[in-house]
Structure 1
Amino acid sequence: MLHPQVRFSPSNIAALKKSLRDRYPHIKSSHLDEAIAASFGFKSHAALRPALLQVVNHARLIVITDHMLLLLRLEELGYRDIDAGDLRHLMWDIKFPDHWYDQHLEKAVTKRRRPTAANSQ
């Protein structure tokens, strides 16, 4: 099953949390933090924070979000009324503010992937 891939950044995590809060207002904020961390493969939000702070200024890390890991963590926290299919669709529909590439980097990547012309010197 395919999962959304997003840039690992504070603004993308905030967008994910906002979308989840809008759709599931009954879930506590701290529980969403824990579930979001789980969706990225972290054991806790406390484990996610240092990794996020470390890569935000130095790297463009693309991570896969897994709605089933998010759902499992929410179930562990007592939220059993969430439909897996609805959650999956929500995760795919989120408009993340930080794209994989900024405009400058996207041009550089596109230029590298363009084949060299046969008649070039």
Structure 2
Amino acid sequence: MMMHATIKFSPSNIATLKKALRNQYPKIRSSHADEALAASFGFKSYAAMLAVLNQVSGSARLMVQSDPCLLLLRLDQLGYSGLSLQALRRLTWEVPYPDRWQDDELQQALNGRFAPVAANSDAVPS
């Protein structure tokens, strides 16, 4: 089972995801895409998401998961029926997000933490 896409919560990533959604489904209005994307991140409205986005975008590294089921549900509520859950899930995974959640330092730390310890090593796994 495919997990939800985890992205860095930044204005550029949200804008890129919105653009990809509207490219795939051109009939979705801009404001509806905003509301649906906010719902996919667990917010009740775009205004609520925007308040948090503006608050944390410059100072924190906040990761969010996009739930394609919530995205599909909100789009359906807004009148866009017949959309494919699998296509929406694929979309959230395949978007080339400009603001990657792993920088080189974080990626190296993760790689080091999960690297197997050699059998003949004196190192103790942490």
Q: What's the TM-score bracket when you normalise by the shorter of the two chains?
A: 0.7 to 0.9
**Identity over aligned pairs, percent:** 51
Q: 1:99 to 1:80 in 2, by over 3 A?
A: same
Q: What 5-or-longer segments of structure 1 have no aligned partner? A: none
Structure 1 vs Structure 2 CA RMSD: 1.9
Provide the residue aligned with 1:99 in structure 2. 100
Matches within 5 A, 1:42-61: 42-61=43-62
Alignment partners' CA distance in 2, 1:100 and 1:91: 14
Matches within 5 A, 1:1-121: 1=1, 2-107=3-108, 109-110=109-110, 113=113, 118=122
Specify the code of the residue in structure 2 equivalent to 1:83.
S
Alignment partners' CA distance in 1, 2:82 and 2:106: 42
TM-score between both structures, scaled by the size of structure 1: 0.86
1:82-104 Cα offsets, whole Å, 9 max, x none, are 11121111122111111113234
Counterpart secondary structure, 1:68? helix
Q: Which moved more, 1:32-41 or 1:85-94?
A: 85-94
Q: 1:78 to 1:60 in 2, by over 3 A?
A: same
Q: 1:95 to 1:78 in 2, by over 3 A?
A: same
